[in-house]
Amino acid sequence: MKKNFYTFSVLLSAFFLLQTPILAQKTATIKINSTVTYQKITGFGGFVCSPSFAYNWMSTDNIRKLWGKNSEAGYNIMRLYIPIGPAIGSRESAWSQSLATAQLAKSLGIKVFASPWSMPAEWKSNNNIAALINSTIGYLNEANYADYANYLNDYVTYMRNNGVELDAISIQNEPDMQATYAGCIWTPAQITNFIKNYGSIINCKIMAPESVGISNNYADAFTDNTVSSKFDIYAGHQYGGISNNYLNVQAKGHEVWMTEYLINWIQDEGAPRDFNWTKDAFNFANKVNTALLSNINAWVHYASKRYYGLMGDGTNGSTDGVITKRGYILSHYAKYTTGTTRIQNSWSDDSGVLSGSSYLSVSGDSVIVMVINSSTNSYSLTVDLPFYTKSGNSITTTESVSMSNSPISLSTETVRPKVTINPSSFTTLIFTKSSIRPASQMIGVPFHYNKIENQTVTNTSFGTNYQLSGKTVTFDHSNNLISPNTTNSNGYLQLDDRYNQLVFHIETITSPASYTASNTTLYYINSSGSVSSHNYGTVSFNQTGNYDWILDISRTVLSDECLGVIGISNGNYTSILSIKFGDVYLSIGTEKMFKFTGIYSNGDSNLLDCLESPLFTSLDFTGTSGIPSGQDWYTTTASKNCIYYVNNDVVNNNTNIVTGSTCNQLTLTDGGGNFYAPNNFTATSASYTRTFDGYGILTLPFAADIPSGAKAYTMLVSSVDIACTQISKIQANTPVLIVGTGTFKFDGTGSVSTPRALKVNDMNGVYISIKAPAGSYYLKIVGGATAFYPVISGSEPTISPLSAYLTPSNTISVSSLPFRFITTDIDQIKIDMKVDKDNIELYDVWGRRVYQPQKGVVYIKAGRKIIFM
């Protein structure tokens, strides 16, 4: 009899998945750290034998299919309903209804526990088996506490006498649920007092409280030492959030079980419906995964056999006696993680889609990884293992297949196998140790030069709440992030660059209710110096932690531009979010940086991640000793424009290594990735190579010569065109127009820097790939004419690194800004292209005959340079 907590955010995600075409394969990495261990996994299962489904609801074949070591599903825990017996007299006729099922379960070697919904009505304050009747709440009368303890013990004894040794008995199903069906209300004080004073009567392990949610109020009561010694298993249901004070109970030696969860479509959508893979599978998978990441030892579903359960009952599209997709997802956990120990893992997934958890086998020689991919993309997943392996297995469930098992073939022994994760899939990966992996002696951390703490406050009255990195804060309707202000009366946080993202790394997050922030609103200072706000709607936070929450503050979203930040509000009254932040920082694009300390280790997991990713712009080894003199990162890195900082005492002249403040050889290439120099340095030799086809915009971080065959021009913007003046040398950090066809190498030397908010003559230099905002202009060809054209909202182009786009200081209304070349040795002529072009003998600047001249291009006519206007 359960509620459906199917959230809007899940439905919205499902909608986008349905609307999104399958994209190219993405990449991600999961790092496994077997030295950090968490809870032992006791098992998984489901509920049987209740009045709702009839006591003989599941046949012997059904049960054997779901439970037991050799069953198809592999579950090892069964939950029983305790039929309500009379207060006086024999209860065997009631209790015998579930006996046969329990006997079969024990014969299969599984764990069995039982839960009561109500005690006899005459022992309750409302004299009814319901928890709430006629607005009257039903508590167990204190005078009947001993009666009830004996009642539960009688059930244990009855089962034992009939060959069923219960593994635990619960005191009450959902003591905090005012149900109009069978139930009883217990406050935390009442249930703990009962256990302290009467628990010893019950000759069985005691489970409690089985509350609706895994909430702090019951957990706090159960941390009392006088209670801790009188019960065994702390249990709760996963309706709503999972708070974390139960960890204090667990620290006293108690396992924590999640003993009931379901999604009931009737309450969500007004009527039953068939199972929908996209809507339901990943909601279910993430619920299980979240519980396990929250240190839960066992996870038990509500109805085992039901159209929304682990086995179909023949209704709403399910097939009677056939394991459902949810059943198979839970089977992944049951078959491959029962008995294991959860271990630490961390994801490097820029899409933020993949989730999962990792486990170490009982023998310690195998790692099991659960991977949830709710997207329509396939992923190349690198699994960074704590040992070397030669092979593995992949077990996958999708909409079309269930637990399809296939070997992972590895050409050589490796610590970083790469596997393909199918779109819209749940996958179990298993790798067995073949040899030991030496431990890294380096420590690496992401490094952010643009942390929120480094921004300038315009008024000391603004306060210090903006200093969020490494802090734990409360975020709800009465507690804003950054500052409590919504106006600039106390000043604001002034941004030192044109940032596009405000990034909050969430290490951990807890809530007593839902994990959402409604009407999440950013208050900021726009380009005119006024206060603006933007509502990001409802933000749904992942309960597992260790991910980035990113607010898009680009001009695509904040069209009036964000030059300063005031605060972020949350309109949700029930979600009191407690968030521990890592770094809180600002970024322009997808740039990444890493800093290492300790003794250099070539096989370090973080280092290998950095070298395999095209997103890294710099690696800082200045705190690392033992770097080989011939170390060459450039040849193996995916990001060819990445730079590597080392100390002065390191003798290394290889490509892109900055020793102290000097780089012997800086080599940058088109397509090599973003370039960003957080610390200025001097290059003995610097070069940039790029292929041009007529026209291109170039911004270099160093001064450079112009290669033969190419011409360079500075650009001055007017309301009707762009005046171009030819130059003989390219200055650092100055956007220029390059005219030429072919591959050119721009050589230079001297100071190398990437200044913030680079803008010259309205040209915005770009070192980190970004979307040009609506209202700006960018270079493209339309109808054969090369010019700067306006960026249209909804179709913002990506500006590549070491290029530029235009944001005019004055209003420009023309549909394009053509080039106007200002030079004494070029004649500007106007012709009728349709009539005159065939009567003019033209050559390009390389002496080749031209028959289809284009406007704005330099040609040779009768020995003179001309340009068509």
| CATH code of residue 569 | 2.60.120
What is the average pLDDT across 310-314? 95
Question: Same domain for 815 and 829?
Answer: no
Could you tell me the two tokens for 814? 């023309």
Instruction: Give the pLDDT of residue 21.
Output: 41
Question: Same domain for 83 and 220?
Answer: yes
Nearest CA-CA partner of 817 in 857, 771, 786: 786
Q: What is the mean pLDDT of the chain?
A: 91
Say if 23 falls within a structural domain: no
Question: Same domain for 80 and 102?
Answer: yes
Question: Same domain for 658 and 757?
Answer: yes
Instruction: Give the pLDDT of residue 332.
Output: 98
Say if 769 falls within a structural domain: yes
pLDDT of 461 over the 80 cut: yes
Q: Helix, strand, coil shares of the chain as percentages rounded to 5?
A: 15, 40, 45
For residues 576 and 579, give the distance between their C-alpha atoms in angstroms, rounded to a whole number.
Answer: 10
> Which range is least confidently modeled, 128-132, 351-355, 676-680?
351-355
Long-range contacts of the stretch 407-416 (C-beta < 8 A, 24+)? 413/388, 413/389, 414/388, 414/389, 415/384, 415/385, 415/387, 415/388, 415/389, 415/603, 416/382, 416/383, 416/384, 416/385, 416/608
pLDDT digit string, tens, across residues 476-507: 999 999 999 999 999 999 999 999 999 999 99
- Final residue before a domain boundary, out of 537, 568, 587: 587
Yes or no: say if 112 and 104 are a contact pair by the CB < 8 Å rule.
no
Could you tell me the two tokens for 399? 């909409």
Say if 13 falls within a structural domain: no
Yes or no: say if 452 and 586 are a contact pair by the CB < 8 Å rule.
yes
Tell me what percent of the residues of the chain surpass a pLDDT of 70. 92
What is the average pLDDT across 690-712? 97
Residue 15 confidence class, pLDDT cut points 50, 70, 90:
very low
Question: Same domain for 674 and 716?
Answer: yes
Yes or no: say if 168 and 187 are a contact pair by the CB < 8 Å rule.
no
List beta partners, residue 27.
Answer: 380
Statement: the pTM of the whole predicted model exceeds 0.85: no
What does DSSP say about strands 168-170 and 136-137: parallel, antiparallel, or unpaired? unpaired
- Final residue before a domain boundary, out of 418, 437, 456: 437
Question: Same domain for 757 and 857?
Answer: no
Question: Same domain for 716 and 705?
Answer: yes
The 10 Å Cβ neighbour count of residue 280 is: 22
Instruction: Give the pLDDT of residue 424.
Output: 97
Range of the domain at 851: 824-868
- Final residue before a domain boundary, out of 285, 314, 341: 341
For residues 390 and 449, give the distance between their C-alpha atoms in angstroms, rounded to a whole number.
Answer: 40
Q: Which helix (H) or strand (E) holds 843?
A: strand 842-843
Say if 19 falls within a structural domain: no
Q: Give the count of domains, the chain.
A: 5
Q: What is the CATH number of the domain that holds 104?
A: 3.20.20.80
Question: Same domain for 177 and 245?
Answer: yes
Instruction: Give the pLDDT of residue 19.
Output: 35
Question: Same domain for 230 and 104?
Answer: yes
Question: Same domain for 667 and 717?
Answer: yes
pLDDT of 230 over the 70 cut: yes
Question: Same domain for 63 and 141?
Answer: yes
pLDDT of 14 over the 50 cut: no
